[in-house]
Chain A
């Protein structure tokens, strides 16, 4: 009978390819029940696979050379059928990978997921964290647009600050004394060969350890666990229990898969709605440019802007090192037996603080009140203000002399210096004149002594005072 024969073939295959063993030791094993947030690992695994597949297909068309890189990304995005979709999936998977990675890290801190016997799982995870964060920068350098080249320059500038070996690091990454023909092949090789191979190994090992040591089970989350022996006993009891345990496949897999599915949906929707990461003009070091980092770096960028000069180098080099050491030593610093969200108020406070800080800094970066920048257009005349011909001349001079590079008028313009319309002037006319001609030493304002004629100075003051007086009437 054919069905009998089919079964024989299937049995043969299952035996010779040793599928039964996999089934028995992975799929059919009993595990402690997880809850919804345990799906973050599955989501990361899915994103990783998405990145490998889309990355491999992007590599079919990408050209890692000075002249070829940008046109090839344009080609993929604008001309290849569905190229934009593949690139979009890659871009959004990368961004969400960073988000999910931070979520995963915070979740482990909240639960005490690094506690014995899972220190090894945690340490591999910390390595994974740093490798993924680093490669999330390398990826967008490959686009070779203005954002890419200045992203690279920022990374090089950070490296250059490392004592003793700073310059060597820069030369190794650039592949020579300048950014040039050797630069992109290096970044390409690291992004598409070195890092994925390393990640495959680390992800594999991380997951092997998760299988061996399990997730933070229901009993662990509710009562203190003093030793790894006790944990193993409790975990086993959980796994075997009817209400606290389950079979991995399909029960746990479906639950974890739910979160992965939601994340996947977000990636697809973002790709369809927003498309792949925007391409700026081709990388160059000549045109005026207003570069920005990718959105998952904006909190760090805001932090950089807030640094006083004396702290900059120490922070740039110290921050990643301190973060690494802190994360690596966390399981050994936190010796408390308490696990689970409800028993760890310090962790909850700490993680909440981190989340608030990251979100606030990101929103600060979106506004960037520290950035002054030249603009050709004079500030618009505020609503309800009618300027005299002299004041109107002053408004034009306000732009001609770059006052509007720093000062907003009635909320329009950069936020770097005081809004001259909003602040009721505490300066008299004579003081105002002196301030413009020779600002105080500690103020970041250029002196206009010798640059403005008396008439021009009066017109500018006319404009500012006119707006101020009308605004405060």
Chain B
């Protein structure tokens, strides 16, 4: 091998090595949140079940909490809508329009959810009625523990 070719290889190789040693760890640290997938369940209270009358839809708030130091602190409060079609059944909807995530608003008069952005309209049961959304409103998995309505915040996509 010629001296010049060898030196070229050394310079290029050295640069790539530095790039890998610095760049790869930086990149991995940067995309770390995606490597740490959401696993299992994460239950948060929404309120006393008794505060949600049967047959009605009401706004409620999930109080998010930081699980431990290994998790970033979430934005503390997130609005949801609770619909109680019957005494036994409770549905918790995300406020996030399934088109692009704008906050839908419940209209007790017409019994519909309206999105302020691009014309998404959803029925009381969350089914799409109009606009670009291609699916119904996201529903949280919920349970009632000692009279308190709880939702699994990991049961909806992270954008909901």
A interface list, Cβ under 8 A from B: 66, 150, 153-154, 156-158, 160, 167-172, 174-183, 283-292, 301, 304-310, 312-313, 368, 370-374, 399-403, 405-406, 416, 444, 446, 451
Contact = CB atoms under 8 A, between A and B. Distances in A.
A186 to B, nearest CB: 8
Given A403-B110, A405-B107, A444-B130, 11 more contacts: A154-B101, A158-B100, A167-B34, A170-B158, A175-B33, A178-B153, A291-B103, A304-B99, A312-B99, A372-B130, A444-B129
Interface of B: 30-31, 33-34, 36-38, 42, 61, 64, 71-75, 77-79, 95-96, 99-103, 105, 107-112, 114-119, 121, 123-124, 128-134, 153-154, 157-159
A142 B143 CA distance: 37
Given A172-B33, A304-B132, A446 B123 contact: yes
A150 B103 contact: yes
Contacts, number: 184
A291 B102 contact: yes
A66 B105 CA distance: 24
A66 B111 contact: no
A286 B159 contact: no
A459 to B, nearest CB: 15
Name the 4 nearest CB pairs between A and B, nearest first.
A402-B109, A402-B110, A370-B119, A444-B130
Contacts of B102: 150, 153-154, 291
Contacts of A153: 96, 100-102, 159
Given A176-B72, A451-B111, A291 B99 contact: no
Given A66-B73, A153-B96, A286 B78 contact: yes
A308 B157 contact: no
Given A172-B34, A176-B33, A416-B119, A305 B132 contact: yes
A446 B103 contact: no
A399 B109 contact: yes
A313 B135 CA distance: 11
A260 B42 CA distance: 55
B158 A286 contact: no
A372 B158 contact: no
A406 B112 CA distance: 11
Given A66-B75, A304-B118, A307-B132, A446 B111 contact: yes
